[in-house]
Amino acid sequence: MEIKVQKNIMNRNNEIAAENRQRFIDDGIFTVNVLASPGAGKTSVLLKIIETIDGKIDMAILEGDIASQIDTDKIRKRGIPVMQINTGGGCHLDANMIRVSLSELKPAKNAIFLIENVGNLVCPSSHDLGENMKLLIASVPEGHDKPYKYTSMFAAADAIILNKTDLLPYIDFDKEVFYKGVHALKPDVPVFEMSCKTGDGVADFVNWLKDKRKLWQTQHTK
C-alpha cells in the first residue's frame, strides 16, 4: 500500500511538472534546477552568473531552503526578481511549489529562471520540477568520492560545476578519480571547473549556458 501511495504522489508531481514545462515553453523561459550539497556554493555560483550576464538577459531566481532567507537577501541586493521557499524540514522542492511560486515571482518572457533547490545530494534528483536542465554543483572540499556515493544525483545531472578550484593546492582532491566517477555514470556530461573567489571558469560556463538557452529556444519556442 505504501508503494502505491508513493507512486500516486510521484505521478501527481510529474503531472504538475509537465504543466510547468509547458508554461516555460510558452513563455520562452529557460529553467535550471540547481542542485548541490549544503556549502558547495550554489548561491555564490548564482551570484557570479548574475554578475556575468550583467542585465543582458532577464533573470529570476527561486531560493529553496529548510529555513531563513539569507541567500534571497543576497540576490535581492543585485536587483534580480527573487522569491524564497522554506520547506520547514522538507529535503527538496517539488513541482507544485514551483507552480505556486510562478504566480508571485512572474519571470519575464525569455528569461533565465534559476531554481536553487534545497541543499541535498539525495532527494532532489528524483523530483521533476519541469526544468529544462539539472545543474549539479560539486566542490573541492567535499572530496573526489561524491560521484561514487551519490550516483543518482550525478547520473541525473545535465551539467556539472566543480566549484572552489582555488582550494586544489590545499586539499587532497584527486581530479582524475572525480572525473572517472562522473563519466562512468554519464560519459558525455560537461564539467566546468570554477572558482567563485577568483572568477576562473565563470565566463566559460555562462557562455555555455547562454548557448544552451539559445538552442532550446530555437527548438521549442516560436
Backbone phi, psi, residue 22, to 5°: -65, -40
CA-CA distance, 105 to 47, in Å (whole number)? 18
State the Cα–Cα distance between residues 42 and 47, nearest whole angstrom: 9
Q: What is the pLDDT of residues 15-38, one digit of tens each?
A: 999 999 999 999 999 999 999 999
pLDDT in tens, 88-138: 989 999 999 999 999 999 999 999 999 999 999 999 998 999 999 999 999
Contact 67, 89 (CB under 8 A): no
Percent of residues, the chain, with pLDDT higher than 90: 92
Distance, in Å, from the CA atom of 142 to the CA atom of 34, rounded to the nearest integer, reads 17
Given 3.90.1150.10, 3.40.630.10, 3.40.50.300, 3.40.1190.20, which CATH number is that of 2-220? 3.40.50.300
Report if pTM > 0.85.
yes
The answer to whether 98 and 130 are in contact (CB under 8 A) is yes
- For the chain, give every domain's residue range: 2-220
Mean of the per-residue pLDDT values of the chain: 94
Q: For residue 133, what is its C-alpha cell?
A: 536542465
